[in-house]
Structure 1
Amino acid sequence: MYKPFGMIPALPTPMKEDNSIDFEGLKQLIEHLIDGGMNCLLVGGSTGEYSLMSMEERKEVIKFVCETSNGRLPVMAGTGCHRTEDTIELTQYAAEVGADCALVINPYYMTTSRQGIIDHFKAVAKNSSIGIVIYHYPDATGVELDPELIHEISQIDGIVGIKNTADGQHTSKLIALTKDNPNFAVLTGFEHLILPTLAIGGHGAVGVVHNLAPTKLAKLYDLIVNENNLKEATKLNLELLELYNAIEDETIPGTVKAGLEVLGLSGGPSRLPLVPASEDYKSKITSILSELGERKLQQH
């Protein structure tokens, strides 16, 4: 069963002016990320505006990314839904169209007990033929899973990792608890924690800046994990800090879509209630990407 690792961009979904999905733009983005040395593609995560899509659209986007990647990179499909049954159905669909694992957010709107959370992940994993990655994002859900609870869920058959969008101390405790489990990957969901997470034994990072500077993020991973060169990695990470900070200056995915347009890729609007980046922000992200040497791409 595939266990995710490395640098995993959370794909935004390029949109046309009428808010329909720009599949041609999505195809160009996928090629850009494959060329940039990424390790896996996350489709249908928060940045991809999954929560503002119909179930049919979610399926279309997952299928399109799997077909476009065509085995060149593994695909992680965001399949979390409020209902356990819907999560299972979408995960099974993702497996059928070629996804390698599924990202499943913990129950949050109708909050449940610790046992309810465990039972939810057990049911999804049991009914899925691909590995399940826990999506832990307490800032967004208002539900924090403590490291001990995640450790318990990590021992369920078919649970292969976590996107842990939580603070460094939480991630550090989680790595300590799960380090002896060869089937479980700890991935940070915060760009600022990529370097420390990898340095203390984490397996990778899911993030949005990966879309804008994939070769640099791939290099950062390589320096830490393969070359054991923390000095050079720290230097590169310092160069990227301004980009990490800027991506959260305004509403995501408006910020990353503005960055994609600077690179000559499709971004387009976001669906309400999300808003596009301001003109001031567009100037700022243009200048940051230019300083990093990220320029307009040659189209495929």
Structure 2
Amino acid sequence: MYKPFGMIPALPTPMKEDKSIDYKGLEQLIQHLIDGGMHGLLVGGSTGEYSLMSMEERKEVIKFVCETSQGRIPVMAGTGCHRTEDTMELTNYAAEVGADCALVINPYYMPTSRQGIIDHFKTVAENSSIGIVVYHYPDATGVELDPELISEISQIDGIVGIKNTADGEHTSKLIALTKDNPDFAVLTGFEHLILPTLALGGHGAVGVAHNLAPRKIAKLYDLVINENNIKEATKLNQELLELYSAIEEETIPGTVKAGLEALGLSGGPSRLPLVPASEQFKSKIKTLLSELG
């Protein structure tokens, strides 16, 4: 069963002016990321505006990315839903169309118990033919899973990793608790934590900056994991810090789409209530990306 690793961009969904999906633009983005040396693709994550799509649109986008990637790069499909049954349905669909694993957010809108969270992931994993990656994003959900709970979930057959969009202390403790589990990958969801996560024994990062500077992000991974060159990795990471911060200055994915457009790729608008980047930001990101080369 595929266990995710490396640098995995959270794909934004390029859109036309009428807010319909720009599949041609999405195809160009996928090629840009494969050429840039990324290790996988996340389709249907938060950056992809999955929460503003119908179930049919979510399926269409997952299928398109799987078909377009043509097995050249692993695909992680965002399949989390409020209902466990819907999560299973979308996960099974993703498996049918070629996804390698599924990203499933923890229950949050309807509060449940600790056991309820475990049972949710256990049920989804038991009924899926592909691995399940836990999506932990307490800033967005208001629900924090402590490292001990995640470690317990990691023991469930079919749970292959986590996108841990939590602070450094949480991530470092989680790495320590799961280091002896060969079937579980810890990936950070914060760009600022890429370097420390890798240095501590984590397996990679799912992020948005990857879309804009894939070659540099891929190089950062290689420097740490394949070359064991922390000094050069630190130097490269320092070059990227301004980009990491800039992306969060305004609403995501508007900032990322502005960056794509600065690179000559499709971005387009976002669906309400999300808003596009300001003209001031568009000018800033264009200059920043130019300086990064």
User: Which residues in structure 2 correspond to 1:27-66 (within 5 Å)?
Assistant: 27-66=27-66
Q: Determine the C-alpha separation between the residues in 2 that align with 1:290 and 1:265.
A: 14
Q: Determine the C-alpha separation between the residues in 1 that align with 2:57 and 2:175.
A: 35
> In the alignment, what sits opposite 2:168?
168
Q: Determine the C-alpha separation between the residues in 2 that align with 1:175 and 1:220.
A: 19
> In the alignment, what sits opposite 2:225?
225
> In the alignment, what sits opposite 2:241?
241
Q: How many residues align?
A: 293
> In the alignment, what sits opposite 1:113?
113
**Structure 2 gap ranges (5+):** none
Q: Determine the C-alpha separation between the residues in 1 that align with 2:70 and 2:111.
A: 38
Any idea what SS the aligned residue of 2:7 has? strand
User: Which residues in structure 2 correspond to 1:139-154 (within 5 Å)?
Assistant: 139-154=139-154
> In the alignment, what sits opposite 2:95?
95
Deviation string 1:98-126 (CA, Å, 9 cap, x unpaired) is: 00000000000001000000000000000
> In the alignment, what sits opposite 1:68?
68
Tell me the amino acid that sits aligned with residue 85 of structure 2: E
Q: Determine the C-alpha separation between the residues in 2 that align with 1:140 and 1:186.
A: 19
Identity of aligned residues (%): 88
> Deviation at 1:198?
0.1
Any idea what SS the aligned residue of 1:163 has? strand
Please list every run of at least 4 consecutive aligned residues from structure 1 whose deviation after the TM superposition is greater than 2 angstroms.
Answer: none
Any idea what SS the aligned residue of 2:133 has? strand
Q: Determine the C-alpha separation between the residues in 1 that align with 2:23 and 2:157.
A: 35
Tell me the amino acid that sits aligned with residue 27 of structure 2: K
**Structure 1 gap ranges (5+):** 294-300
Any idea what SS the aligned residue of 2:283 has? helix
* TM-score, with structure 1 as normaliser: 0.98
User: Which residues in structure 2 correspond to 1:1-300 (within 5 Å)?
Assistant: 1-293=1-293
Q: Determine the C-alpha separation between the residues in 2 that align with 1:240 and 1:122.
A: 38
Q: Determine the C-alpha separation between the residues in 2 that align with 1:8 and 1:73.
A: 10
Tell me the amino acid that sits aligned with residue 74 of structure 1: P
State the superposition RMSD in angstroms: 0.2
